[in-house]
Structure 1
Amino acid sequence: MPLGVVIRRTPGVTPWARWAWTVVAVLPGAADADWALLREEDGACEFHAATLTLELHRADAEAYMQGLTANPPSIYVVLRPGPNARPEVTLVTASPFEAQDYADTGEDQVEKVDMPAGLVAWVRDFTLTHFKEEEFKKRRRDRQRVDLEEDGVGDARIPQLTDVYRAPVKARKERLQ
């Protein structure tokens, strides 16, 4: 589904950042756009920055279910620093897991936006069709005892278990001669 991304530009509050960019909305079914000005008031401007395709995959149905149970359900928009002052809209996703992966890099700006009601219904229908909850299976420990054999501890030339970290006396005397 095509999603238009609406970005608000406000004056920066530090001398290092001239503008602050935040994603304020998504427009389901929007036409293509390239930073079309929607409104301007008191130094703040809102742009229809880009239209990207929201793709849903069956393998990510669990992630979509997790995102739908959040209050409110959200879409995540990934922004990267662009060649000019404007950010580049890279991705839109309904998966909080995928959004977390992008946030972990520290290079991308991930914005969380409320999902419109029609989009919630579309994602919910897809998710309920493809989501199969897996039964939790607790792992059982195997009963094998691994602590019975001292493998790789100390010097094999020392027969006493109490002095495994002591240097062999015989080998030390041979080196001195």
Structure 2
Amino acid sequence: MPLGVVIRRQPGVTRWAKWVWRAVAVLPGAASADWQELRREGEAVEYHAATLPLTVYRSETEAYRIVLAAESPSVFVVLHPSEEASPDRPYVVHSVTVSAHEAQQALDSGEELVEPVPMPPPLYAWLADFVDRHHADETFMKRKRGPAVEMQSEDGKGDARIRQAADVYRSPASRRKGELH
């Protein structure tokens, strides 16, 4: 599903940040755009910065359930600092996701700016329907140990630099008669 990303530019509140840039909305089914101005209120401007595909996967339904169960379900917009560093376009919209796990991975890298944006009701209904159709609970499987493989131990092998009658790494079961202790 194509999602348009709306980014707002507002005057900064400190002298070190002239502008504050934030993703504020997504537009389901939007046409392509490239920083098209949508609305202006004084010095605050909203842009339709980009339209990106939102892709969902059957294997990620658990992450989608986390987002749907949140107090305020969100779409996560991932922004990269622009390499051109233009004051008019300081960020590039890298991706959009509804996966809590993907959003966390983007946050962990420390390079991207991840903005949660309120999920529109039609997108919520579409995602909930997808999860209902494709989610399957995974049953808990307790891990079992494999069979012990005998005669493959490295008993008696220790540090090759230590030359002594009793190797400090040798187990008590490998002691032979007459060996010095």
TM-score, normalised via structure 2 length: 0.77
Match of 1:111 among 95, 103, 115: 115
Q: In the alignment, what sits opposite 1:159?
A: 165
Q: In the alignment, what sits opposite 1:38?
A: 38
Structure 1 unaligned blocks of 5 or more: 165-177
Amino acid at match of 1:43: E
CA-CA distance at 1:92 after TM superposition: 0.7
Q: In the alignment, what sits opposite 1:54?
A: 54
Query: Cα 1:109–1:159, aligned 2, differ >3 Å: closer, same or farther?
Result: same
CA-CA distance at 1:163 after TM superposition: 10
- Give the secondary structure class of the aligned counterpart of 2:62: helix
Alpha-carbon distance in 2 for matches of 1:25, 1:64 = 19
Amino acid at match of 2:112: D
Alpha-carbon distance in 1 for matches of 2:97, 2:168 = 60
Q: In the alignment, what sits opposite 2:140?
A: 136
1:1-177 alignment to 2 at 5 Å? Answer: 1-82=1-82, 83=84, 84-85=86-87, 86=89, 87-141=91-145, 151-152=157-158, 157-160=163-166
CA-CA distance at 1:62 after TM superposition: 2.1
Query: Cα 1:157–1:18, aligned 2, differ >3 Å: closer, same or farther?
Result: same
What is the number of equivalent residue pairs in this alignment? Answer: 164
Amino acid at match of 2:76: Y
CA-CA distance at 1:29 after TM superposition: 1.4
Contact 2:67 2:74 in 1 (8 A): yes
Amino acid at match of 1:70: A
Contact 2:158 2:169 in 1 (8 A): no
Query: Cα 1:8–1:75, aligned 2, differ >3 Å: closer, same or farther?
Result: same
Structure 2 unaligned blocks of 5 or more: 171-181
The alignment yields a C-alpha RMSD, in angstroms, of: 2.7
Query: What is the CA deviation profile of residues 59-113 of structure 1, one whole-angstrom value per residue up to 9, with x for unaligned ones?
Result: 2222212221222211111111122232111111111111122222211111111
TM-score, normalised via structure 1 length: 0.78
What is the percentage of aligned positions where both structures have the same residue? 50
Amino acid at match of 1:5: V
